[in-house]
Structure 1
């Protein structure tokens, strides 16, 4: 029925190699989750993880002339985020960071907040870094 969210949605978006791309990726995710039954339960973790994956692809996984592809898939029980880039020889690396470092924690966040995550070759050229999350648990009444 028009005006009612459906149970599952997919979206694809090409993003430039730009510091603005993580923000555009967040807006794409917000639009998608607005069309999914229960999509609001993915929003907080999803926004953080899409930002981290797109930032990594823009900074480490693409050359100046390449774009990255954001693929999103959501239904009431799962959100999958995929970021495709053109550099297959640069697999993401989990690394320990010093508490005072300002960067380097992105993949640690992805690992700790997602149910599954990984990296695989992309058909043709490049790689795909992906993660899947479940919905946040609903808060009991009166708890904020």
Structure 2
């Protein structure tokens, strides 16, 4: 029997994706799953809480403003050597995220301000209809 020498090319990218219910429980689960995935893959080297807060804000927005009965939202994480990309996709492309001044008396409305403060970049991509993806990128600092 012939033995073959095989070479496996390991990608420097790591990807995680999950569908979650557009509820407060689904948003909490998004944060918990993201933290566990980042720890298991040693993605952020000390930046896990920052990334977890961004995931929490984007997932909460999807569950609150992007909610459509019977349709899940998707959390995606893509770790490249120097960047972690967080993506949250929902099915309300007509409901665009926008920065708003925070109302001191209000209980909500600060999510994108938090994302803006913590992420190095963020934005929105559309499609396929009726979906939109709100993404944020964190530059990774390696030891």
- TM range, smaller chain: 0.7 to 0.9
Offset, 1:59: 0.5
User: For 1:66, which of 61, 67, 71 is the aligned residue?
Assistant: 71
Structure 2 residues not aligned, in runs of 5+ = 1-10
Asked whether 1:110 is paired with 2:115, we answer yes
Distance 1:95 1:50 in 2: 19
Superposed CA offset, 1:27-68 (max 9, x none): 221222123345332301111000000000010012121110
Distance 1:9 1:119 in 2: 22
Larger deviation, residues 7-16 vs 80-89: 7-16
Offset, 1:98: 2.1
User: For 1:17, which of 13, 22, 37 is the aligned residue?
Assistant: 22
User: For 1:88, which of 93, 105, 125 is the aligned residue?
Assistant: 93
Structure 1 residues not aligned, in runs of 5+ = 1-5, 139-144
Asked whether 1:97 is paired with 2:102, we answer yes
Say if 1:134 and 1:30 are closer, same or farther in 2 by CA, change over 3 A. Answer: same
Offset, 1:101: 1.8
Q: What RMSD in Å do the two structures reach over aligned CA positions?
A: 1.9
Offset, 1:69: 0.6
| TM-score when normalising by structure 2 | 0.83
| TM-score when normalising by structure 1 | 0.82
Distance 2:141 2:49 in 1: 9
